Amino acid sequence: MDYMANMNWMGLLSLLVSAAAALVCITFHELSHGYVAYRLGDPTARQMGRLSLNPIKHLDPIGFLMMIFAGVGWAKPVPVDMRYFKNPKRGIAITALAGPVSNFLMAIVTMLICSLVYRLLLPTDSMVLLVVFYFLCNVAILSVGLGLFNLIPISPLDGSKVLFSFLPDRVYYTILRYERYIMIAVIALVFFNVLDGPLSFCINGVLQFLCRVTGLPWEALVVGSQILDFLG
């Protein structure tokens, strides 16, 4: 009973809502990859059950934890077979770009809803609205973070697929063979916060721009993304 009485329930709620926000972001990111690949002629993602809104199918445990605690991360890559594309390099580039684009679109839609919830929240002290607002703010921030992180032109991140599509075929396919090893270096860069400064600067810049576009006050987004932590 003492343990239950001293439990930080607000902190637990904050962690659960943040985890839910991260799951939403990675699910739509990977689903977008698979759907665009499918529309371009590659049935691989569909055959392997990756055209799904079930977040468990897209979950990479390390990338998921990094999203919650570091603000950037990754999901389990959607399988893509470029042999199905009429133009393999272009098909891969478009498929790769679909993930970050979906995150930016999600951020815009979420912040528009945030703006509405914020106006409903001002005259009330509804706990339900506070949790919803916290969730939406975190979805918006994590979406922008995930989108920008994946645009970094380091293999196997999405940005590299777009950039490398302009390289000669011999160089392009050589890089693809070593993707898994390069990913270890990317994980190290995130773990040791090497990318933290530049990414934070870019994320804040994009979020401030989207705040102006959607009419959501910047201060409301910042406070909203931490409000449950304050209450805890």
Domain map of the chain by residue range? Answer: 3-225
Residue 7 is predicted with a pLDDT of 56
Kindly give the interhelix angle for 88-121 and 127-150, rounded to the nearest 10 degrees. Answer: 160
Distance, CA of 219 to CA of 130 (rounded, Å): 15
- pTM for the full predicted model: 0.86
Q: Which of 30, 51, 74, 103 is catalytic?
A: 30
Is-catalytic flag, 219?
no
Residue 179 is predicted with a pLDDT of 67
Greatest alpha-carbon pair distance for the chain in Å reads 66
The contacts of residue 63 (CB under 8 Å, 6+ apart) are 26, 73, 74, 75, 76
Structure tokens, 191: 């773990």
Render each residue's pLDDT in the chain as its tens digit; 232 residues: 554 555 566 778 888 999 999 999 999 999 999 999 999 999 999 999 999 999 999 988 888 887 887 777 778 889 999 899 999 889 999 999 999 999 999 999 999 999 999 988 877 777 888 899 999 999 999 999 999 989 988 877 888 888 877 877 777 677 767 666 677 777 777 667 777 788 889 999 999 999 999 999 999 999 888 887 766 5
Structure tokens, 88: 């393999």
Residue 232 is predicted with a pLDDT of 57
Distance, CA of 220 to CA of 210 (rounded, Å): 13
CA angle 78, 36, 53 (to 5 degrees): 60
The closest of 79, 215, 225, 220 to 144, measured between CA atoms, is 225
Amino acid at the residue 146: L
Structure tokens, 42: 């590659």
